[in-house]
Structure 1
Amino acid sequence: MDRLFTPDEARALLPGILEEAREIVAARADLAEIAFDREAAGVSRLGGLPEIKAIEARIQETLSRWTDQGIEVKGVAPLLIDFPAVLDGVSVRLCWIEGERELAWYHRTYLGFPG
């Protein structure tokens, strides 16, 4: 059975997720800068293909760590994650989207943002 989170369990994980999310946002910005520079000038001060692959691998490593914990990654830009849960006998997802500082929303499992 897939992991279910209580609201308290999900909230306890959020500080670490927020820190890792900041790293992913910075990595996405680096990828965008490299792509822009390479398109405009053919080179980037941030590097080339090896650096792109390394940044992408770091992002994927974090996303995999989240999914290994039972967290559902619904989007990467913006970051959108769901924590499977049951509230009052109903299957729901406790959701967090990039830019929020806390876990404040939930939706029934079959509703929410497409992911």
Structure 2
Amino acid sequence: MKTFTIDEAQSLLPLLESLLKRATEGKRAAQAIEAELTELGRRIYLTGGMRVNLAETGRKRTEMEAHLQRVKESIAEIDSIGVQVKDVETGLLDFPCRVDDQVVLLCWRMGETAIEHWHTIEDGFQGRKPVDERFKRRSNSSNNRPN
């Protein structure tokens, strides 16, 4: 498992935020189309059938699948970096980080200006604590290591 210093994680935020926005927008667009198609199905059922523009319906399904593919690609790209996507809707990400010989998760949510929280793997988001000096020391000592 890849681990990050707080500085490494922080430097990835612009890229990750862009990927998350792409995933969130794709998910919302797919959900909107799905709602349209569900409503169409409901109307067909209630009226006992009706004339449907099959080409338009097929185009909407294809468009919905394209949006969902963008969501999957965005999440896969974030995952390939080593960052964990916890919730696309809220833009919640976790960055594995080694502190005091323990792997914990730096926690960031879209809209936050910086990574300011962490939690243990067991505690999850509800156990978020403010980042303290241990993380900054880890960051400084890794930057001072010889190559």
TM-score class, shorter-chain normalisation, is 0.7 to 0.9
Find the counterpart in structure 2 of residue 3 from structure 1.
Answer: 2
Aligned Cα root-mean-square deviation (Å): 2.3
Q: Which residue of 1 aligns with 2:22?
A: 23
Counterparts of 1:22 and 1:72, CA distance in 2 = 15
Provide structure 2 residue ranges, at least 5 long, that are not aligned to the other structure: 42-52, 127-147
Tell me the distance in 2 between the aligned counterparts of 1:8 and 1:52: 37
Q: Are the equivalent residues in 2 in contact too, given 1:3–1:84 (CA < 8 A)?
A: yes
Q: Which runs of 5+ in 1 are unaligned?
A: none
Q: Counterparts of 1:104-115 in structure 2 under 5 Å?
A: 104-113=116-125
**1:1-115 correspondence to structure 2 within 5 Å:** 2-41=1-40, 47-113=59-125
* Matched-pair contact (CA < 8 Å) for 2:22–2:74: no
When the two structures are superposed, what TM-score results if normalisation uses the length of structure 2?
Answer: 0.66
When normalised by structure 1's length, the TM-score is 0.82
Of the two, which has the highest radius of gyration? 2
Larger fraction in strand: 1
Equivalent position amino acid for 1:28 in 2: K
Displacement after TM superposition at 1:78 (Å) = 2.8
